[in-house]
Amino acid sequence: MDTISAETRRVPSRHGFPSPARVLSKLRGLFVRRASPGEALLAAGIRPVPPGEFLQEHILAPRRLTAAAAAGAMGLETAAVERVLQGGRVGQEMAESLAKFTGMSAGFWLNLQASADLVARVRA
């Protein structure tokens, strides 16, 4: 049963994201044909944020920290943090270091990586 009115469907999102009604309609179609989670994210217009991009834009840049400063605070080599910032994968050890540094859980960082991996597999 569709409880979303036709008027709601036409309202664009003020943030440039697809409207919730549009996302739901696309997701319904994907689940009927058993799409992969990565396909569902792409079809809904959702672009997962890779861990390195999140780290740069939401942690380092607002605090005016460099990769070297972050690496020093985490007790890692600068090259390890720079790899993540350049799109490298975040594994368990790096996720735990990022968790201690940011106060966010290791699971948060691993979930960011998993979402990025799902979409990368669909695009490949």
Residue 1 resides in a domain: no
> Are 39 and 57 within one domain?
no
Which pLDDT tens digit goes with each residue over 46-101? Answer: 788 899 999 999 999 999 999 999 999 999 999 999 999 999 999 999 999 999 99
The total of structural domains in the chain comes to 2
DSSP secondary structure, 42-69, as one string: HHTT--PPPHHHHIIIIIIHHHT--HHH
| pLDDT at residue 17, rounded to an integer | 65
> Are 28 and 70 within one domain?
no
pLDDT band at 16, cuts 50/70/90? low
Q: Which pTM does this prediction carry?
A: 0.68
> Are 70 and 15 within one domain?
no
- Report the C-alpha gap between 47 and 25 in whole angstroms: 18
Residue 118 resides in a domain: yes
Packing angle between helix 78-85 and helix 67-74, nearest 10 degrees? 120
pLDDT band at 43, cuts 50/70/90? confident
What domain range includes position 36? 6-43
